[in-house]
Amino acid sequence: MESVPEMKRTRFHRMNFEAEILTAPCNNSELYMIPTMRSLTAEEYVQAFKSFLDHSTEHQCMEQFINKEMPKILASLGNGKSTINVLGVGSGTGEQDLKMIKIMQAQHPGVLINNEVIEPNPQHAASYKALINKSTDLQNVSFIWHQITSTEYEQQVKEKNAPKKFDFIHMIQMLYRVDDITNTIKFFHSCLDQNGKLLIIILSGSSGWASIWKKYRHCLPLTDSGHYITSDDIKDILDGMEVEYQVYDFPSGWDITKCFIEGDMTGGHMMDFLTGTKNFMGTAPLDLKKRLQEALCQPECSHKKDGSIIFSNDLSMIVVKS
């Protein structure tokens, strides 16, 4: 397989992006302050992420995969055991988790499902718990919560030297924020029980994101602290591990039309999500904003449909055997 360039962003720890920038207006009459660029906080990320979900088909894409492929994938779990152990790594607000649990219930009637959740964002965890409270069909399902990062969970397991085995582990759109992607995948794969399965959902190597990250990386600010990875990188890692896996590709789109409307609040939140930057449209240099907007319109990134600009958000669902 052709080697994929390393997609990890270099961090400039000594550069202070919080510093105030003072400049003089053209008449030198007084100094004024320009807002500086900074990364999103956890709370700000939640708002930016919601603007993305509200205008994309990402969850619909996942639902299509879950309904079409997951019954077959989950049918062989457990090998007749009375309990199926499940671990969600970075489960977010839990919508996809509960959809998969309901399929497990249908495939394994009467079996107990022990569902453990790793989710560090308190707002997401609270939304997940609220969703559970609204559900009426979660009989025989128990929940254990770990409000920590995947790295912290791994450290705890290794310190206790008592790793728990799981029949099914899923990592949905979360590997962009871990420090060591390869070792994270290796660790959670090692947590699989015999005949267990690991599901990784990640952006496709043919998505618009891949083009932005590879070809137009110079259009992104240094305040974006995530790792630029796609399914191509994950497949390289799995090939190196010499494990068996299968890839399912599903199309998904993101309507970014409002990102080009000056002063549009929703468009601003979407640009914050895309760049990982608070108030990108209000704080980024004009030339950077222009370069990014031009890159977003390139045919390898997006297409026009009924007057809207649809960014390619295609996903790859990768199922790895134990």
- DSSP alpha helices (H): ranges in the chain? 42-54, 58-74, 95-107, 122-134, 150-160, 181-190, 208-215, 231-241, 265-275, 280-283, 286-296
Q: Write the DSSP string, 132-179.
A: HHH-S--TTEEEEEE-S-HHHHHHHHHHHT-PPPEEEEEEES-GGG-S
Whether residue 262 is annotated as binding a ligand: the answer is no
CA atoms within 13 A on the CB side of 176: 20
Q: Which of 174, 220, 180 is closest to 199 using CA atoms? A: 174
Phi, psi of 203, deg, nearest 5: -65, 140
Whether residue 116 is annotated as binding a ligand: the answer is no
Q: Show contacts of 277-281: CB within 8 Å, 24+ apart.
A: 277/37, 277/38, 277/39, 277/40, 277/221, 277/223, 277/224, 278/37, 278/38, 278/39, 278/40, 278/41, 278/44, 278/223, 279/35, 280/37, 280/221
Q: Distance (Å, rounded) from C-alpha 289 to C-alpha 221?
A: 10
From the annotation, which residues make up the binding site?
58, 313
As annotated, the binding site for substrate includes: 58, 313
